[in-house]
Structure 1
Amino acid sequence: MADKNQESKVVDYVDRSNKDPSPLGRSIFVGLRAADAVLQFNILQRGWGTSLIQRLGGSVVPFATPRDASVAFFGLGPYPAIMAALAAGSSVKQIIHMVGIGETALTPQAATFIGLFNTIFNSLNTLFSIWSVTSAAPQMATQSASLTDVVTSSPTLMLGLGLYTVGICTELVSEIQRKMFKDKPENKGKPYGGGLFGLATNINYGGYTLWRAGYAVAAAGLPWGALVGAFFFYDFSTRAIPVLDQYCTDRYGDSWTEIKKRVQYRLLPFIY
């Protein structure tokens, strides 16, 4: 009885057994994620973030203006352009998943919650990247410099970009591999434990954790990146993974048990 009570307290934000198309929920999610990319760009390019921080009594990093920088990216200097690109990349990845990969139904309420949740984290990263107290911008970012010079001048920035790239590619590729497996008629009703999912049963969650941590590192350095990574690691390991494990156990039975025996890790290889 205690176990059942404990399971009932674990929250899942989607009904995994419901495979309805849910066009309204998906449209809301896609719209919010697309709007987020535009929002983060405007926070940087139009000075919305600078204005907010200064009104709160803070100071901002004096980035090189586009005409001072050797290369201008849609009106942004190299480092702000990197921050805008990371936000846009997260939106593109999640829109691809929603439009062409995901099968689980999504209610308008869940779509709104998940969309805004991602926007909050992206907005914090954007603001922290320009606030002088937290910004991980290398000194080169305040001078006339190329994108390559800015990136290679900062090990912290390179680490953040590396984690982001590995994480978002891992999440996307693993989900495409699972989708291709599921689309084959002979695999109907079977769980997937191949490809990148052969490294960890929830490798897509691990990928999400990595790119979220990397995005935070690139914006505000190691302390913020470690905090963000720890938050998602804790949430996935204590909430999302137990929920999904129970769902897969109920749906696939022994087939899922065999995959868990074969695949040692749950979130990230050699970690958890």
Structure 2
Amino acid sequence: MAEKKLHDNVSRNKAPSVLGRTVFVGLRALDTFWQYHLLSRGWSTQLIERLNGRTVQHSQIFWSSGALVSQPYYGVVLALSLLSSIKQIIAMLLVSEQETPVGSAVMVATFNTVINTVNTLLSVWVTTCPASTSHNFSLVLNNTIVLGLAAYAIGILTEMISELQRRAFKRNPANKGYATVTGGIVWGAFTCSFFFYDFATRGVPIMEEYLVYRYGEAYKRIQKKVKYSLIPGIF
């Protein structure tokens, strides 16, 4: 049986991909407006109710004018979508050097919008709305909301800062060909030693055991011809 070829959702080729990037940026920008309309027009509550779910009252989400959120909690829900879009747009325009086909741009942007849409729907469903369980929409008095905001902030800031650091490092001519990246020779030597030990004592023996089991004598003949398992001339 032929081994299934792995599929990479992201191209590893470098290309400007003006059209693909434009599509991605446009779709990610539209996501926030989509989430806003889900809440302001009552589409989110209507969908939950059609599924026989009980929702928070629309007056707890938006004022009757339909222009501004009536509770800080739903301002945060929209902010989560907005900030994730801004972060991904910045990464696409300032960090990414990879080819971005239109198909991939649509797929990735749509995936994020679907996830954010589910998040918006869950925010109005009484069963999953953290504010509704305590009848308290305050952001600082609800432990679930505080924990969620902290996790979101840590995650998005860590990823964004890491991407900007990588961009700055790669664009510095002094770092061209610098294999140990930022850890220096000591950390690089430690990392190399650790993984060499792991390969030598665990990874390679397990792989050889599997190959002998799978191919039997055919692989044993290859072992006799190929003396080195990992590094030619050394190991």
Asked if 1:134 corresponds to 2:122, the answer is: no
> 1:108 maps to what in 2?
102
Where 1:9 maps in the other structure, the secondary structure is coil
Between Structure 1 and Structure 2, whose CA radius of gyration is higher? 2
Asked if 1:99 corresponds to 2:93, the answer is: yes
* Post-superposition offset of 1:192: 6.9
Could you tell me how far apart the structure 2 residues matched to 1:24 and 1:192 are? 35
* Post-superposition offset of 1:191: 5.3
Could you tell me how far apart the structure 1 residues matched to 2:156 and 2:193 are? 25
> 2:52 maps to what in 1?
57
What TM-score results when the alignment is normalised by the length of structure 1? 0.62
| Match 2:7 to one of 11, 28, 31 | 11
Could you tell me how far apart the structure 1 residues matched to 2:37 and 2:194 are? 44
Asked if 1:165 corresponds to 2:153, the answer is: yes
Name stretches of at least 5 consecutive residues in structure 1 with no aligned partner: 142-149, 199-256, 265-272
Asked if 1:31 corresponds to 2:26, the answer is: yes
Segment of structure 1 superposing worse, 128-137 or 90-99: 128-137
* Post-superposition offset of 1:189: 4.3
* Post-superposition offset of 1:11: 2.3
| Match 1:48 to one of 43, 47, 53 | 43
| Match 1:187 to one of 169, 175, 196 | 175
Asked if 1:153 corresponds to 2:141, the answer is: yes
Asked if 1:122 corresponds to 2:110, the answer is: no
Structure 1 residues 179 and 152, CA gap change in structure 2 (3 angstroms): same
Q: Is the 8 A contact 1:73 1:81 kept in 2?
A: no
Identity across the alignment (%): 40
* Post-superposition offset of 1:46: 1.8
Deviations 1:33-91 (A, max 9, x none): 101111111111221101111222221023636559xxx98344211111000011100
Where 1:152 maps in the other structure, the secondary structure is coil
**Alpha carbon RMSD of aligned pairs, Å?**
2.8
What TM-score results when the alignment is normalised by the length of structure 2? 0.71
Structure 1 residues 66 and 134, CA gap change in structure 2 (3 angstroms): closer
Give the partner amino acid of 1:157: I
* Post-superposition offset of 1:14: 1.6
Structure 1 residues 96 and 67, CA gap change in structure 2 (3 angstroms): same
Could you tell me how far apart the structure 2 residues matched to 1:157 and 1:73 are? 24
Where 2:126 maps in the other structure, the secondary structure is coil
Could you tell me how far apart the structure 2 residues matched to 1:175 and 1:152 are? 30
| Match 2:15 to one of 13, 20, 23 | 20
Q: Is the 8 A contact 1:45 1:76 kept in 2?
A: no
Aligned residues: 187
Give the partner amino acid of 2:144: T
